[in-house]
Every structure is written in structure tokens, then in C-alpha cells.
A and B are shown apart, each in its own frame.
Chain A
Amino acid sequence: MTAATETPHLPDPSPIVLEKVEVRSWKVPIALSVFALGAVVLFIAFARSGHTTFRFTQSVDAIKLPDLTVPSAPVSIALAIVAVLMAAASWWYVAARGRVPGWFAAVFAVVFLVGFLDWAAEGDRPLPFTSLLLGAVTLSVPLVFGALGGVIGERAGVVNVAIEGQLLAGAFCSALVASSTGSMTAGLVAAAAAGVLVAFILAAFAIKYLVDQVIVGVVINVLVTGLTNFGYSKVLAADPEHLNRRMTLPDLPIPGLAQIPVIGPVLFDHSIIVYIAYVAVAAVWYGLFHTRWGLRVRAVGEHPQAADTVGINVNGTRFWNVSLAGAVAGLGGAFFTLGSVGIFTKEMTAGQGYIALAAVIFGRWDPIRATLAALLFGFASNLQNTLGIIGSPVPSEFLLMLPYLVTIFAVAGLVGKSRAPAADGVPYVKG
């Protein structure tokens, strides 16, 4: 990434410079070693004597699976040893083949995670595995919407730091409209419309007036915070009889699929907005990589001059796709109100938009990867909730810190080779 940052992309008169493909990067082995060391310290030096119980079934489920009880210390120690061996193997991979395969890092992550759960959940109370995953999916829904909004915007070449503002505006307007009209569908539409309005501001300033996009994004977030706080105090709180009543979307279990143990309740027993998220992920992925629309979006984000030369209206494409991104992110805002707690409270998005932005980057500007990153962040924060309930030796603050630390790790090391769309954040001036 450093090499790329030195060379400005657009005015480069020289022909295409081929990058070196075989770069021996020691970042992954270093990262894995750090985690393996952590595993050794936690699982062996602070080994816990009792048993850990994993519970896979909720009381309401039709098909019941038995609890799994294992002795904590032997399992976590064994997994720590596996982690150490895998870290060592990653050094060998880099030395011998130049890089560590992706599946290897994924397996390492699973080993570390299972070891950690085994270690942290030791005690009499079982670890509710299903609700741990269920909560992870639920908490990541707004992140998924926000990340998709971010991916669309950035693929079109406009950095979308205003995701936070779009989520917040969506949450406010969905609560306002749903409670005043009594229709939750209207609330969802209003959320998307609010996101589009915020996106219009971003698009106007970033595309027409060429203001630095990160600056506009940050300022829009402050503006929306001010507007929604103001609106909450003067409009919503002023008329509690009619406005901001508690309204939540009903759960719609998918027949058949919802009865599958573990997977069913985790994935197929949700309100409509979660299913919309599933569809949106697939649609954005398919659209971006398999349709004419996606090709155009990526063209204006990678090389606007080339796109302009073949007759694509660069700024028009950017404008409408930033608006589309706003609609997606705004819809995610409705999850905070209609999808979960049912009412709007001040600053209820609490920085989730920034985490969605991190998911975009962690996910390398790819809708599927960004969704996985969002799920990871959702999992980390729900892990904190779950361990807080069953009691664990890890202070909750450190678990809350985890997604952020992982992101820093990711941007510093693991995704170091990933690149933003080349013209991301660069306004296009024709001529």
C-alpha cells in the first residue's frame, strides 16, 4: 500500500506500471504469532480448572440437541498448542511459498475463537451458542446495510463517511413516519428516503462543489446528529401520545428452514428487514460484478477519465449511486427503531456508521467480504453481551474494543495489499 500511495493515479502520464506480484509479506505470520502468543498466555498461563458447557438449543426449539460439556483446561490448552503450531506453519508458508493461504488464516481464527470461548465461558452456566450467533446476526444487520451503502459509494468513487448520518436519519424518520402514519412500511420507505436526502447533501458537496469527501462526511454526521437531537426534543418528545410510539416489525419465521437446529433460529426467524439485508447483499454483489450497472459504477470509481471517454456520464453515475447508497444505509437505520427497540432515542446509532465504514475497508470494498466483516463485528459485540451475562474473566471493555483492534490490525497488516478503488475520494473534473 505504501508503494501505491506515493504515486498519484490520475495525472500519471506514463503507461500502466505493472506491480510486483510476488511480494513476500511477513505480516500474516507476525499477526498469527501475536494471536498464538495471546492464546498461550490466556489458555495455558491462566488456565481455568472447571468445565465449559456449550448449549445449542433454545427452550422453544422443536428439535433439541444435547448440551456439550468439556473440561475447560485440556481443550483450551490443546487449542493453544494447535494455534502455536499453525503460527509456526505460517512462517514456513511465507518462507517456502511466499504467502499464507486464506483458508489457513480462517482455520486459525476458528481455532483461536473456539479456544477463547472454551476458556472464557468456563463455569456452571452454559454458553448459549445459538443465541450468541443469533445476536451476532441481529447486531450486524445495520452494519451490513451501512457497509453495503459504503461499498456502493466507494466503488463509484465517493468516500461515504456519512454512513453514520444516514443510519441516524433513517432511524429518526422511520420512527417519526411509522408512528405518525401507523404504517411500518411507510416507516421503512421514510428511512430509505431520509438516507437519500443525506446522500444528496454528500453528493452535492462532493461531486458538484468538489469538497473533500471525508470532510463533508464528518460534517454531515455532526449536522444529522444536531438535526435529529433537535427534532427529538422539539417534535418527538413534544407529542409522546402520537409520535415515537413503540412499534416493532413482527418476526416472520420461514417455514421449514426455521426449524433447523442452530441455523434455523439464527438465520431464518427474523423480521422482514433482516431478509431485506440478505437480499440486498446478494443483489449488490450480483449487480456490481455481473451487470452493466456494476461495470459502470466500478469504471467511474477506478478510472473516471476512461469511463468518460467511452461515454459514461461520470458525475451523473456517481450522483445516483451515492443516492442509492444513501437509501440502503438509511434502510439500515430503520433497524435501530422498527427492527429492534421500536422507538427513537438521541444518538441511538452510537458510532455504528463508523464501524460499518471499517467493515467496508476490512472487507476490501467487496459486498460479500464487507458483510462478513460486519458479521464479525456483530459477533464481537454480542460475545461481550453473552459473556457479560454468564460471567467471564475478560473485562467487557476489552471485548468491546475487539472489533476496533481487529480493524486496526486489518488495515495495518492483513489487508495491507488490498487497494481502494483507484479514484475513490477523487472528484472528477471534466476536461
Chain B
Amino acid sequence: MSEATEARTPEERTPEASVPAPAEPGRGQNLLREIMGGSLVISVLAVLIALVVGAVLIAVTDPAVQQASGYFFARPSDTFQAIWNAVGGAYTSLFQGAIYNTGKTDFASGIQPLMNTLSAATPLIFGGLGIALAFRIGLFNIGGQGQILIAGAFAGWVAWSFPMPFPLGLIVAVLAGIVGGAVWAGIVGWLKARTGAHEVIVTIMLNYVAFELISFLLRTPGALQAPGTNNPKSPAIPAAAQLPGLFGVRYTVTWAFVLAVAAAFAYWWLMSRSSLGFRFRAVGENPSAARTAGIGVERMYVYGMAIAGGFVGLAGVNQVLAAAPGGFSSGFDAGLGFDAITVALLGRSRPAGVFAAGLLFGALKSGGYLMQAANDVPVDIVLIVQSIIVLFIAAPPLVRAIFRLPTPGTAPKARRRPAVKEAHGQ
């Protein structure tokens, strides 16, 4: 396992070279092939497949459908009607819970679901950027949960321990959170650089360590526990350190969303414009070549993990300073660490892609709750849809095979190009 990430890079290059050069087809046809087989179409189709699978699950488990299918051969139309009602109803709720509630009369309340989507998307974008950054260096950061927990605890602790006036207290708390996430992830990079410990294992282990650590601190008076209580819960965040609402208190979306936009730009600048980002990408593409070119690969692992942890840490900051400022308990990461991996994969580790993927999964999340309440479809279906999207995104040849799409860069009926490159999120 330890050589998985490193050894893959040269391996994935070889098969491409062996694909015979295609005969030159017409130019317009070629362009069409590129678009139809390209990543955007694949992404859209992957979402489509996932929604179809979700629809099948909704239909199969719907009581009305089960009842109607009992006399399917007597009156099949009833079954189809029931399926339509179940699936249509559920997906209508999904839309109304995620984008715009058509049931409301005025725009201000109708748009509320979209605002919920934005606030649900915010931590996903932060986390996704962090995971994506590690991907680009060839590192697989499964430690989102731990980084979020530590970062959130740092931010919260600083916020209530050092009361400061409004903008200053907030800024210091946010920075503390970034530092917390960076330190926790930096340990991983340092261990990998110094000892060669595989980052997948270390990040998984540090997730549990962080969880137990935070649980312990939350029930220890004088640490993170709110004074005067026996509950394993932290004090409330002072108003001066909370991230204020972006459009007033009516909507859940806060300035954290603006911060997420800024983070996406920062990621873009770091990876595409800075020399550090160049070195990161060089290490990610081929560590041996990067070392030959004089790049300190080990150092890049440490820096890369620390910066990735800083981005992921912002998700923890969002949870503590914006999502639940009344105080947190040990599960406040809410599975965001793993969600962020799917966001980074769907976004192909590009800033705009991660941003869009975060919005999509945020929409699924916020719509899922309405679907559960209104149509009795468990919110867990969002997990299913989300993971199927990522599975299919990672395997473009499979999507192409299902929809009989052409493979870009090849003539018709030429050999399929292996999908490793796309799968790696490059």
C-alpha cells in the first residue's frame, strides 16, 4: 500500500503511449466527440445515473408502490402511477428543499432553501479544497474528520478564552482554527517525510485520536467543557467571534460562504500562480522527477499537508463559529471529513470544480431533509446518490459504455484509453 500513490504516476503514463495514434477524422466530428466524451458530460451523466438509482430505491421501498405491484398484472397502470407519485414527490421535495420553495408566496421565504443550500455547501467547499490540495501533491488525506475537530476546538477555545471586540475576535478565532487544522495535518506530513509512514493510515488513525481527545477535553472542567455544567459540551461562542449572517438573521447563510469563495480563489492562486503550488503539482505528478529537479519532496509533503489541513480546518471553524455557535459536542464534524473527499473527487481537484461540487452536495443535503420530512424517504439516500456520483465520475469508461459515448482523443472503434488519469483527480 505504501507505494500506491507514488508508483502509480509512471505506471499510468505507459498505457497511453501504447494507444495507437488515431486516424484523423473530420474536424467538426472530432470536436463533437471531445464534447460528448469530455469530463463535463461525464459529470452530468454520473449525476443522472445516481438520481436514477435513487429513484429505484425510493420506488422499491414505497408502500404505495409495493401495494400496487401486488396486482401488477391486473392493472399495471396503478404501479406506474404509484412509482411516479413516489419518485416525483420525493424529487420535488428535494428541489423545494434545496433551491426554491414554490409553496411560499413571497420571494424572501421561497428563496430560503437556496440559502440553506449555500450554508450547507460552505463546509463542504472548505473541506473539499483541503482534500483536493492534498490530492494534487499525490497525498490522500482521509483525516478531514480529525482536522475539522481539532480546528473547531482551537477556534472555539480561542473565541471564548480571549474575548476581543468584533472583527478582531472573529479574525483571531478563524486564524486559530486554521492553525489547528494545519498542525493536526502537518503531523501527518511530517511523519510521512521523516519516516515514510503512509498518510492514509496515519490520517485515519488521527481521526480517532482527535475524536477521543476532543471527547475527553469536552468532559474535563477547565478544558473545553462549559463552566458550571456536567454535559460534554463547550460554552457558547461570544457574539464578537461568531461569523455573522450574510443576509441578516433570517437566513442560515453566513459570511463563511464569502470566506469559502475567497478560499477557492486562494486555492486557485496557490496552485496555479505561486511557485509553491508549482512545486506541489510537480511532486504530485512525479516525485522522482521533482526530486531530480531539486524540489525538496519531503518538505513539500509537510507544507502540503499543513496547508491542506488549514483549508479543512476552515470547515471546522464554520461548524463552530457559524453553524452552531451555541457550543459544540464531540460529533460536530458531522461526517464532513468524508463528504469532503467526495466533493474533491467530483470537483476533480480544481477550485471551480470543488466549488460546484460543494454546491451540488450542499443542495442534496439541504433538500434531503425536506425529502425525509415530507416524503418519508430517509436522508441517507443522499449518501447513496453522492457516492454513486463519485464512483461513476471516477470511471469515465463505464459511463461512456453505458451511454455509448465516444472516447475523446480516439477514432471511432479505437482502443479505449485507460481511465487512470481522470480517476486520480488530476
Q: Using a CB–CB distance below 8 Å, which chain A residues touch chain B?
A: 1-2, 4-11, 27, 154, 159, 161, 201, 205, 209-216, 218-223, 225-227, 229-230, 233-235, 351, 354, 357-358, 361, 395, 397-398, 400-401, 404-405, 407-408, 411-413, 416, 419-420, 422, 424-427, 429, 431
Contacts and interface: CB of A to CB of B under 8 A. Distances in A.
Contacts of B18: 431
B395 A426 contact: no
A420 B2 contact: yes
A398 B384 contact: no
Contact of B387 (A220, A358, A404): A220
Contacts of A422: 3
A161 B386 CA distance: 18
A214 B291 CA distance: 25
B202 A227 contact: no
Contact of A429 (B3, B15, B57, B208): B15
Given A211-B419, A212-B423, A229-B378, A6 B191 contact: no
Given A205-B391, A211-B394, A351-B208, A397 B216 contact: yes
B3 A431 contact: no
Given A221-B338, A411-B195, 15 more contacts: A1-B195, A6-B291, A215-B341, A219-B345, A226-B387, A230-B61, A358-B201, A397-B215, A404-B212, A408-B201, A408-B205, A420-B4, A427-B11, A427-B420, A429-B11
20 contacts: A4-B2, A6-B287, A8-B288, A211-B391, A211-B423, A215-B423, A220-B391, A227-B380, A229-B383, A230-B380, A233-B380, A357-B201, A397-B213, A404-B206, A404-B212, A413-B195, A416-B197, A424-B3, A426-B3, A427-B418
A159 B212 contact: no
Nearest to A424: B1
A98 B7 CA distance: 30
B204 interface: yes
Majority SS at the chain A contact face:
helix
A397 B1 CA distance: 29
A226 B194 CA distance: 38
Nearest to B216: A397
A219 B390 contact: yes
Contacts of B3: 4-5, 8-9, 420, 422, 424-426
Contact of B205 (A7, A213, A404): A404
Given A230-B378, A234-B378, A211 B2 contact: no
B394 A411 contact: no
Interface residues of B, number: 67
For B1, B196, B395, the residue with the greatest tally of chain A CB atoms inside 10 Å of its CB is B1
Contacts of B419: 209-211
For B15, B140, B383, B386, the residue with the greatest tally of chain A CB atoms inside 10 Å of its CB is B383
B397 interface: yes
Nearest to A234: B61
Nearest to A10: B11
A235 B142 contact: no
B209 A159 contact: no
Given A205-B391, A233-B380, A420-B1, A401 B201 contact: no
A159 B212 CA distance: 27
A214 to B, nearest CB: 5
Contacts of A407: 201, 205
B6 A8 contact: yes
A212 B424 contact: yes
Contact of A223 (B6, B201, B384): B384
B295 interface: no
Interface string B235-266: 00000000000000000000000000000000
A79 to B, nearest CB: 26
Contacts of B380: 225-227, 229-230, 233
A5 B6 contact: yes
B8 interface: yes
A411 to B, nearest CB: 4
